[in-house]
A and B are shown apart, each in its own frame.
Chain A
């Protein structure tokens, strides 16, 4: 008896999954996004094994092979230290994805919780304080604030992560704030208030589950944006520093050799674009799937 019921639930879930997959895969762009993201993830995770010259990731000099154009031995050419560009790009995916993941892990819970609290206590001074602080961070294009904060700190990968985190949480608090405000007068919230549920219970068990799909969608889209801003910081020299092969500073290192040794710049640039494009396409696919209106 129990077993049949279990099997039934399993069937149900499987049918749901198939339905969702059909819906997701009906848009070829989402599939392109998913495949690109999977490729980038694969290359990032297995970089030491799939990179043809894994020693190229760091301080490595090979003066016999300096600035070689793309060939069969080095598909994307070599840089001014004789390091293989393709291998460095694979490791670059690692740093860029790590940066995005670390930032989102810090930013999403913080922003969401602050937004939930502000939304649930809307109209009180808690709301005023949290949301006015949020407005301050959103009062300026994020790139400029990120550049300014990075320039005040010592330029490094870690500090650029810190800078982006400092200015990224307000987007999540604004998102969850809107949802919390619209839900706080719903019957299920009022009912749990009536039976004396604690505030944390209402916030995290009643309201939070309704925020998860938009937050998840925004996170997927944000991976692309965070990589973009991190690459911009690294490009101007305020982010990751040599010899770390972050994609942004590979591009900027290449610009000094630009017209003649174009492969040093063009290939990392394409890699950045490919990654961001993949996450944007995937994010849009997920947004359509979860029927999230606006993120």
Chain B
């Protein structure tokens, strides 16, 4: 099977899954007790206003019709209006999503760099002191919830040692760079505001490290296991006997096959980080998509809730396709075989 038709097939399948997801979340949002129009207007609004809004939102139509109306609007880019921000949801998403994406990308870079380093060193020296420390760390890293890490970091780095800024994206003494890509570090670089870039970078450290801890733990564990497994292979023995330097064996011959299982869960992890951003951004007051989604959820902002679920779902699907392409590039054996689901 060639790669291109495979990707096309995956895309098509993702669209069906996303349709299913939209049906699920849309139905849930309509069958819950409580009138969406009443929720939107608040308890003090007069009944005629509620009735008017019900008519406008097609809430008197049967559920399938409502869904089809919602879907046709959504496909045109109209996700309805948010109750809390009083703006079209799609505008909110465009404003807030890049900031989260920036955070997720940055934490992905951190976690790949650190987990490859830690995992490779531990795998190369199995059962050494360092290896055991890494194993304990990975258990703790996986087990401790992200919000606990967030609070611990806030406490130690923000309050006790006062090393890093804890809340928001930028200190008050800097002016916000104009909204070009929405990712503030890139925007600051485009305008050439180096001070704002550095300050923003410092703000990014705590939330993104929080986001990456469980991923580092997981990835390092998987990479370590793969390394130990592949170390027994004949080609490593022969490379060693030819006198190939150890660092070259580790990073060239051992790394490539061992890293594949780690890459294959990366799609899951990146979108997991996007999910984790709902809590992390709320704690660090990071004005991103996660904080927006959480805000919508706490205020029962139905349109925004549906939109945030759908956008995380679409992000998940896209990332997984990208990861599949990367794996096909890394591992020629998989390239031809269709991976299930």
Contacts and interface: CB of A to CB of B under 8 A. Distances in A.
A9 interface: no
A273 interface: yes
B32 to A, nearest CB: 5
A153 B309 contact: no
B74 interface: no
Contacts of B279: 143, 232, 235-236
A111 interface: no
Given A147-B278, A148-B297, A231 B305 contact: no
Given A140-B21, A143-B276, A272-B145, A152 B282 contact: no
Interface in A230-269: 231-232, 235-238, 251, 255, 258-259, 262, 265-266, 269
The interface residues of chain A, by DSSP majority, are classed as: helix
B258 interface: no
A237 B140 contact: no
A141 B139 contact: no
A277 B305 contact: no
Interface in B182-208: none
Interface stretch (A54-62, A77-85, A130-138): A130-138
B29, B139, B148, B154: which has the most chain A beta carbons within 10 Å?
B148
Given A136-B24, A139-B17, A259-B159, A147 B143 contact: no
A42 to B, nearest CB: 20
Contact of A277 (B32, B139, B283, B312): B139
B276 A152 contact: no
Contacts of B143: 224, 228, 273, 276-277, 280
B312 A251 contact: no
Interface in B295-327: 296-298, 300, 302, 305, 308-309, 312-313, 316-317
B158 to A, nearest CB: 8
A153 B21 CA distance: 18
Interface residues of A, number: 43
B330 interface: no
A145 interface: yes
A132 B20 CA distance: 9
A151 interface: yes
Interface string A15-52: 00000000000000100000000000000000000000
Contacts of B29: 152
B275 A148 contact: no
B151 A255 contact: yes
A149 interface: yes
B101 interface: no
Contact of B145 (A144, A232, A265): A232
B142 interface: yes
B147 A148 contact: no
B309 A145 contact: yes
B37 interface: no
A219 interface: no
A273 B302 CA distance: 33
A281 interface: yes
Contacts of B275: 140-144
A139 B29 CA distance: 18
A251 B142 CA distance: 19
B246 to A, nearest CB: 29
Given A141-B275, A272-B144, 4 more contacts: A139-B20, A139-B313, A251-B147, A266-B152
Closest CB pairs A-B (n = 9):
A141-B275, A151-B297, A136-B20, A277-B143, A259-B159, A276-B143, A273-B144, A269-B148, A143-B275
Interface of A: 29, 131-133, 135-137, 139-145, 147-153, 224, 228, 231-232, 235-238, 251, 255, 258-259, 262, 265-266, 269, 272-273, 276-277, 280-281
28 contacts: A29-B135, A132-B20, A135-B20, A136-B17, A136-B24, A137-B24, A139-B21, A139-B313, A140-B21, A140-B275, A140-B312, A140-B316, A141-B272, A143-B272, A144-B275, A152-B29, A224-B143, A228-B145, A231-B145, A232-B147, A235-B145, A235-B147, A236-B278, A236-B298, A259-B159, A265-B155, A272-B145, A276-B143
